[in-house]
Amino acid sequence: MPTAYIGIGSNLGNREENCEKAVTRLLKKGVHVVKRSSLYETGPWGVREQPKFINMAVEVDTELKPYELLKTLKGIESELGRTKGIRWGPRVIDLDILLYNDLIMKTYDLEIPHPHINDREFVLKPLSDIAPDKIHPVFKKRIKNLLMEFLESSQSERVKKGFKDKP
């Protein structure tokens, strides 16, 4: 049975409850949730002037093909009240296919692996919770290593050294 990783996020309404409802809906749609990450509160990406997000990731086993899974995720978003808005703007719920087995595909409607995994801490942290040793099929690196690289590249530069006991 194929294994997929789904990113879940919300920044409108009861954010934690919205994420939990999404997980429950996945189960009701016959998508078996194997693992789930911690919940993380993160700043917005893309459009900065909006509320903070709650993000998480789940590992699922599913008989659904990638397009069927995408359709299921979009249906859950709709059921939970997501409406069309500005790209990367506020939303009640957001569900993204991050990985699907080791599949690499790019079409107009769907790209797997998700094209922004490596530059989004809010994706890498929860994904690393549940699949630290999963190899990204494009970058050929473990998820935990992608997270470490992201964190190293995003850290501030030290502008002043600490004090010493002696000159």
Burial classification of residue 90, based on how many CB atoms lie within 10 Å of its CB (0-12 exposed, 13-18 middle, 19 or more buried): middle
Q: Select from 127, 55, 39 the least CA-distant residue to 91.
A: 55
Catalytic residue, from 15, 25, 36, 94: name it: 94
Cα 134-56-12 angle, rounded to 5 deg: 155
CA 49 from chain centre, in angstroms, equals 20
Which residues neighbour 78 within 8 Å (Cβ) at sequence distance 6 or greater?
none
91 given a catalytic annotation? yes
94 given a catalytic annotation? yes
96 given a catalytic annotation? yes
Catalytic residue, from 82, 102, 129, 142: name it: 82
Catalytic residue, from 15, 25, 36, 91: name it: 91
Q: Is 134 helix (H, G, I), strand (E, B) or coil?
A: coil
* Residue 114 to residue 123: CA distance in whole angstroms: 10
Catalytic residue, from 96, 109, 120, 129: name it: 96
Catalytic residues: 82, 91, 94, 96
